[in-house]
Structure 1
Amino acid sequence: MQVAILVAGFTPGEADQLRRAMAAWKRKGGLQHYCDRIVGGMQTRGRDKPFAEAIFEQIKGFLSMAFRRVLPRASRCWSTQAAGLKCHEPAAFLAAMLNSQPMGFYSPSQLVQDARRHGVELVPIDVTISGWDSVLENLPDRKKPVVLLRLSLLKGMREGAAERVETARAVKPFASVSDLARRAQLDRHDLQVLAAANALQSLAGNRRKALWQSAAAVTDHDMLADTRIDHATPALGAPSEAQDILSDYNSAGLTLGRHPLSLLRPPLLEQRLMPAVTLRMYRNGRLARGCGLVTVRQRPGTAKGVMFVTLEDETGNVNVNVNVNVNVNVIIWPSLLEKQRREALGAALLAVYETWQGEGEVRHLVAQRLVDCRIFSAD
């Protein structure tokens, strides 16, 4: 990358694109464009064409041999360091991973669920203490650092609004939703995003009260701007647990309450849909039924049409990753995918009827039938 920048005039962004092309050039091709760019860039900087072409050939030679050696070593080094951080400082690891989103493979919900199963304490998003990034906090009533979730997890939250919140809060604490709106210069959109995520609970109470107060906190700019409304906030009942969990997922893509599948477990058990921790105990060849939230769908180009799906429930993941926890593999063969494409691609809560395959710590669930489980609901 440095060669491309120093001798061919690449920008850092162009050099990163070259790196990506180098990683997939045998499969996708596309290096000829960079050949012309590198050779031309070197010529304009005083190098002759044979020399420039020789440099490009050396880059191709690196792709054929050194790249395949260097990349695995770098990956092993990074994996070892990440594993050590996760083992010894799991809270710091979680905060760093959340601040690195989007990552593509692991969603914030999966990261949070895994961290909580390993003893990490989290504090929900709160406009009176949360910033744009997730951070570690030493709270007086906690024995160890906790992860304070960040405002940027909220769908629709704007960084500029979060910065104004932090600036105004540093002067003095907010006294009310109206005080927040005025001093941080928040509009109705900003307040509704915060209220829907329960981030105004410290100032307004439950979500319904917060939404009501946020609607009245923004000053109108029309002919009624100077009108005062002295109506008291009505006695609004708190949402149910299921409604709160649903709102959490809609607002931030995760919850610090109970996992949704824990609410649905009774009707799921009636259908003999077992949690992941139970499936792990099944013997090889046994018919199995699992169900969970779909968190990842993958269909790699090298997998010959096979789809891998990650299902998450309250006990862990029915996952494409293999490790020593409760993770197992769900595999959907092309023939089943063709028959049940709607369920495979569209279901948010998916049940899988499958054959259990296991040897040692390696677990596979080979899907035979898929069911979209949106028919289940919790009161």
Structure 2
Amino acid sequence: MVFAERQLRAALTVLALSGLTLTTLQGTAGAADAPTPTATAPVTAATSPVASIEKATARALARSLAEPAWHKQVAKAALADEEVDLLALTAKSAAKPAEGLRRTLVAAETDIAEAKGLAGTDAGSLLRVRLTGKPVSEPALTSTAPLVASAPADDDADVVIAYDTAGNAHQLDAHKAPERPVYVVGVDGQKALAAGLEVIDKELAAQGLGTPSARKTGPSSAGAAGPASAGSTGFWTTRITSIRAADLKEPWFKGDAEVFALVTGFGTDGKVRVDTVTMPYLDEEDTTYYPGQILVNWSNYKYNLADAVLMEDDGDTNYSSLAKALAAALLTITDQGAYIPLVDAIIDAMPASWWTDDADYVDSFYTLARETTGSRTGASANARMTVERYYVSAL
């Protein structure tokens, strides 16, 4: 990837997770199908702390599945739910391998919280396992030699490493979903993001750069009353009536996309403001959704223009460290008396150490005005949405 593109995506990631005022408006495989063991896993990207923890957890889980009864419990849970809380699952099991795995998970959860800057929060357990590959029955799943993988640090990796019950590493094609069932270990991205935004809110508030506020997510925020600062006479908003993305940049080993939008502008106090809008429904590409969701609350902004950016979070950010760096960088950005594009200002302000690949850029919608209505195509022609003006009346 070109370095400049990495810079843009990194800066947008920073925006999405920060801002001076963050407010959310919201089949059994036969012997011929078995992958070939490899002695060592190829290095495809710089290893991240979170990816390292996920990898170690995947290998520990794979070894534990050598015990048939425990494997059956894991298989049943994975078939019943899209994502399974590993720590909770081991707590419910009397199997000896589950007991040993639980000790590993307790330490891993502590390490995950530290790596993501969530230590001391009420985020709870974050490590999950899900089943991918072609649909399979429970008997077929439990009779198949299990493989457990974790996502590589780089979405552009060519291979995904999976482990068998002996701890041997196998290479899977990163560009094509596996034919056989594979367990994938990862972090609950939505849960981590929610906890991380709270960490950033508190840190920025301590620096005098924002006040923590209640968060609303998803379509349910469409007709809700806005923040207390909106006043008692109601306010105008821009609402999404339909939205569609052609490519959500999410490979099979990452599961469903975790998309959020960010709206940038200057707040009524003249300070930089970023409002994040979670979009948990937008998890499939080439699918049109009709959320009726508020994107921009114009009572929060000084000018009649704002930019909106869609991102898909990859979840390797240390929220506490990020908040401290943002506070130092964004304090230098001031209102010049006219609307300016904040993306450029933040790219210039952020230190080079933050040019990482933590999230995927989906698309941008620039210069949305309060009067904007109808269909808009994003700057990258990857997403398209229809918006309307929507007035939220006071109670």
TM-score normalised per structure 2: 0.22
Is the strand fraction higher in 1 or 2?
2
More helix by share: 1
Q: Tell which has more relative contact order, 1 or 2 (C-alpha 8 A, sep 6+).
A: 2
